[in-house]
Amino acid sequence: MDFANLFFLLLLSLTPFPHRRHHPLTLAGADPTLIETTCKTTKHYDLCLSSLKSNTTSSTADVKGLALIMIGIGTANATATSSYLTSQLPAAAATTATKNGSRNAAVLKRAVLKECADKYTYAGAALQGAVDDVGMEEYDYASMHVMAAADYPSACHNAFRRYNGLLVYPPELGRREDGLRRICDVVLGIIDLLINVGGN
Spatial distance between the Cα atoms of 70 and 44, rounded to a whole number of angstroms: 12
Query: Is residue 145 a part of any domain in this protein?
Result: yes
Contact 69, 79 (CB under 8 A): no
Question: Measured between alpha carbons, how far is 183 from 44 in angstroms, rounded to an integer?
Answer: 8
Tell me if 165 is assigned to some domain: yes
pLDDT at position 11 is: 47
Q: Cα separations (Å) of 81 from 14, 50, 95? A: 30, 20, 20
| Residue at 21 is within a domain | no
Q: What is the CATH number of the domain that holds 57?
A: 1.20.140.40
Q: Are 140 and 189 in contact (CB under 8 A)?
A: no
Q: Is residue 20 part of a domain?
A: no
The count of structural domains within the chain is 1
Is residue 138 in a domain? yes
Give 92 or 115, the one with higher predicted confidence. 115
Alpha-carbon distance of 129 to 136, in angstroms, equals: 11
Question: Are the beta carbons of 183 and 70 closer than 8 angstroms?
Answer: yes
In a domain, 4, yes or no: no
Q: What is the pTM of this model?
A: 0.80
Classify residue 64: in a domain, yes or no.
Answer: yes
Residues 73-95: pLDDT tens digits? 999 999 999 999 999 888 765 55
Name the residue among 161, 179, 162, 160 with its Cα closest to residue 81.
Answer: 179
d(CA 110, CA 16): 39
Domain extent at residue 173 = 42-198
Give φ, ψ of 164 to 5 degrees. Answer: -55, 130
- Provide the pLDDT for residue 23: 40
pLDDT tens figures, 8-50: 444 454 444 444 444 444 344 446 799 999 999 999 999 999 9
Does 166 reside within a domain? yes
